[in-house]
Amino acid sequence: MPAAEPPLAEKRPHPLQVHDVTWTDDYFWLRDREDPAVKTYLEAENAWFESYLAPMQALRETLVGEMTARIIEEDTSVPYRKGDWVYYSREVAGKDHPLVCRKPWRSDDASVLLAPAAPGEEVIVIDLNERAAGDAAFSFGGGAVSPDGRLYAWKENHDGTDLYTLRVRDLVNGAILSDEIEGTMFDDAPVWGLDNHTLFYTLGDETDRPWRVMRHVLGAKTEEAKLVFEEPDSRFSVSIDSTKSGRFLIITSSSKDTSETSRLPLSGEAGVPEVFLPRQEGIRTSYADCGDEWFILSNEGAVNGRIFRAPLAHPDRQSWVEVLPGDDTIAYESIDAFATHVVIGARNAGVPGFFLLDPDKGTTKWVTSPTEGGWVSGEPSPEYHAKAQRFSYETMIHPYTVAEVDLGTAEIRILKEKTPPPGYDPSKYRVERTFATASDGTKIPIWLLLAVDHPRDGSGGILLDGYGAYGIASDPWFDSNVFSLVDRGVGFAIAQIRGGGEFGRPWYEAGKLARKETTFTDYIACAEHLIAEGYASKSTLCGSGASAGGLLAGAVLNRRPDLFGAFIANVPFVDVLNTMLDASLPLTTGEYDEWGDPASTREVFDRIRAYSPYDNVRAQAYPPILVLAGWNDNRVPYWEAAKWVAKLRIHNTGATPPLLRTAFETGHGGASGRYKELDEIAMQYLFMLKSLGKVHGFAR
């Protein structure tokens, strides 16, 4: 038992009224971070959480030790070429963050690329450990080398928010330039002009919505930066990138349903971005330049997208020629181009991969992982005239592998298989895919990582992870940490529920806006299926969800708390109604297309209010719940978790009060660094093992 009773947050009734509906929010005051009582309450929750786990401190340390032992202490990524150099990251024993390095390019042959740099040849572009300076929430926001290879611009954050500082280093003498731009948005890399002294970046508005593209000339004052583009519509956010050819800056202004793309030559000449196609509600487009043509991915007339081509000089809509028609089973997701071939990221009947398009022949070749049931991702291949595309893949039992595919022949060559964790024996585990039946008859895939001898009589434990939002696919991945659970009888499962993008745009749209309830019922169906099939029981099934997956957690717990022996909600989006009514908060206006605008109509208000987890807490027996929050989180503010736990605390009739832990030094992503994050993971595993009765002497 904990050393003290859990704290109870003070009730301070706060009246609210929308659409002639009035209600009272007793914990609205927890939003005020300037109120000393807020931090006092959160610190009391932290203390109670630590006292709750204190009797198992030895196991906590054991878990950290196990996960630390699985880290590959010294490792180097596969170098990729850009200009006269190849770039790579290098892990150093005992260090949380990698070194970004480069060495002279000599050959694309794998044996040459992977060979250690000759003495005196390696250049440390940036040591992220030096930049982190021990900060728990340090985040590297991406970097870009200037076209002449002399300068390196990168973005970094130290507090867990989405605001990054842009800095520049001279790679010849190692000096960091005086140019320092604060408040740049998100972790996308800056873009260089071809003149080697112009940088493009994005700034946010008062809600941290990326809305401006700025142009900075090295040596000039930050306030002298020129405005290149501004997006006035609060539903839209702006992002930037350069085409692989280096010829164009691409500016994309997008909502969840609509996008508009502009281009600006990177030749260094001043100019105004030119819009490819004026925005049309519901139409999304992406562009890549290949030779003297643009290749275009558009969902016009095809829910999962189709591919067009158009002249480089005149890409108006009238000049588009269809190359690949729409397909109900193929979801086209991204487009990129080399000088001779086009690469189209896609999901083919739910399988992730990409197509290689030969524009001259009009033929395509499908490329995916040679191993079924895994994660496939493009790897850096920045050379426009390269002959191969890099990609990586992994499964729940096969570690990360980097390969390349020949653009002409589609021959796949494995470049590097990551060294398995020390002591790892894949023969001890098995991967399965099973299907739950949703309430409307749809089959919902569930991927499972299990011990070979995992029982099917309900006595085994399962950690069931879910997300189901924004069209983001939840594909199986390799996580060496989770073996500390599997070895103790708790398998890991991933529910590919609707609202995600596993089967294209229709799978996403089936779990958003008015159909959001489908996400929750899909997850419940998955939980019921795992119990019915004997993978777990109601007392040995633990649910988990983070961010929008935390919304899933809260909604499911209000509906079927009896299905779970425990639940973990990480930075959970649970105060949905209040957040979506507050347009001053980050992300709110940009997410009207995901959840709806409750201020717009009574219908939308009622729909969101019906599932908003905080608003639907009621007197019933909830299972043990661990809720994690970040004080600096500007995506899902700490108060959402705090308010939810405060309300659960007084309504829960179950045996275990909910637990809340707020990390005061981090934000949405939690602790960073490959060592620092392990204690955070260990405490979640400890809570889970205790709650599911998988720790001797601590059964519920």
- Catalytically active residues are 547, 633, 668
Give the separation between CA 15 and CA 38, rounded to whole angstroms: 19
DSSP letter at 318 equals G
Angle between helix 57-69 and helix 676-691 axes, rounded to 10 deg: 130
Q: How many residues does the chain have?
A: 700
* Cβ 677 vs Cβ 671: under 8 Å: yes
> What are the residue ranges of helices labelled H in 35-144?
36-53, 57-69, 110-114, 128-132
Give the separation between CA 364 and CA 660, rounded to whole angstroms: 51
Give the separation between CA 609 and CA 550, rounded to whole angstroms: 16
Give the separation between CA 82 and CA 312, rounded to whole angstroms: 24
Task: Determine the residue type at 673.
Answer: G
For 232-280, the DSSP string reads --TT-EEEEEE-TTSSEEEEEEE-SS-EEEEEEE-SS-----EESS---
Q: How far apart are the first and last CA of the chain?
A: 11
- How many CB atoms are located within 10 Å of the residue 322 CB? 14
Query: Phi-psi category of 423—alpha, beta or left, where left has phi over 0 and alpha has psi -120 to 50?
Result: left
* Cβ 217 vs Cβ 198: under 8 Å: yes
Six token digits for residue 699: 């059964």
Give the separation between CA 506 and CA 490, rounded to whole angstroms: 33
Give the separation between CA 365 and CA 363, rounded to whole angstroms: 7
Give the separation between CA 274 and CA 394, rounded to whole angstroms: 40
Pairing mode of beta strands 75-76, 342-348: unpaired
Local structure of 32: helix, strand or coil = coil
Local structure of 305: helix, strand or coil = coil
| Max Cα distance, the chain (Å) | 74
